[in-house]
Amino acid sequence: MLKIFFKYFHYFRVKLGLNRKKKLYNLIKRHKPESILEIGVDEGKNAINMISIMNKYIPQSKIHYTGVDLFLNMMNAEIARREASQIPKSKNDVSISLKKNYPEIDFELIEGDSNIKLNNIDRKFDFILIDGGHSFNTVSKDFELCEKLLNKNGVIVLDDYTNRNSELKAGYGVRSFVDKLDRKKYKIKINKFPDFFYHEWGMLVTRIVIVKLQS
């Protein structure tokens, strides 16, 4: 019963624009990036939503999107459990979806462990979303590598800054990582609008975190 209640509760929050993804999309509208790096592509729906916003202020041909994920071929239930992650679609399925919706954009999908593959990217980005593996070690390494790939005045967003219970019960490490970041080096804003999800182990309360270098 609780699971059904929170499913509809989340549905109405999304409709009212009170969810964390709405905040993410508003950030894109505000900063107007021309290039986005997303760690954790999942089904590709978020990529399409972000690109649709970008396409309102720049033509498709000037948009660049890079997505890094294990994708379906490299993911399994054990990794998903350890990293508090979803089972994504295949790289080919996401590629087909991107080409169908935005045939003119410049995009690259990279299959593999982000802690390794990010080392091989040779361009920088205006906007980076970290939403792949959620363990403390994975998030820490992703952030370290992404910081090197960020353009001046760029923005890094970390998804799934959760409540403490979700760290203990499901292995999320984003909160512990963000709480240890040097506030003298980074401007850090934790979104005030959380999302709520009911699981068998308890309540997941999750927010996004916006990180920029101090000027």
Question: In the predicted model, what is the mean pLDDT of residues 187-203?
Answer: 90
Q: Tokens representing 27?
A: 């950030």
Burial of 68 by CB count in 10 Å (0-12 exposed, 13-18 middle, 19+ buried)? Answer: buried
* pLDDT tens, residue by residue, 115-158: 999 999 999 999 999 999 999 999 999 999 999 999 999 999 99
* pLDDT tens, residue by residue, 29-73: 999 999 999 999 999 999 999 999 999 999 999 999 999 999 999
Query: What integer best gives the mean pLDDT of the chain?
Result: 92
Q: Tokens representing 127?
A: 């906007």
- Residue 42 — left, alpha, or beta (φ > 0 → left; ψ -120 to 50 → alpha)? left
Alpha helices in the chain (DSSP H): 2-15, 20-31, 45-54, 71-74, 77-82, 91-101, 114-117, 136-148, 164-170, 174-180
pLDDT at 4 over 80: no
Q: How confident is the model at residue 199 (pLDDT cuts 50, 70, 90)?
A: confident
pLDDT at 27 over 90: yes
Q: How far apart are CA 143 and CA 157, in angstroms?
A: 10
Domains in the chain: boundaries: 2-213
- The more confidently predicted of residues 58 and 3 is 58
- Other Cβ atoms within 10 Å of 130 Cβ, number: 28
pLDDT > 70: percent of the chain: 92
pLDDT at 17 over 60: no
Q: How far apart are CA 55 and CA 51, in angstroms?
A: 6
Burial of 14 by CB count in 10 Å (0-12 exposed, 13-18 middle, 19+ buried)? Answer: middle
Question: In the predicted model, what is the mean pLDDT of residues 190-198?
Answer: 88
For domain 2-213, give the CATH superfamily: Vaccinia Virus protein VP39 (3.40.50.150)
* Position 15, amino acid: K
Q: How confident is the model at residue 7 (pLDDT cuts 50, 70, 90)?
A: low
Q: Tokens representing 95?
A: 């590629």
Quick one: pLDDT at residue 200?
A: 86
Nearest partner of 64 among 22, 118, 127, judged by Cα: 127
Record the pTM: 0.92
Q: How far apart are CA 5 and CA 26, in angstroms?
A: 27
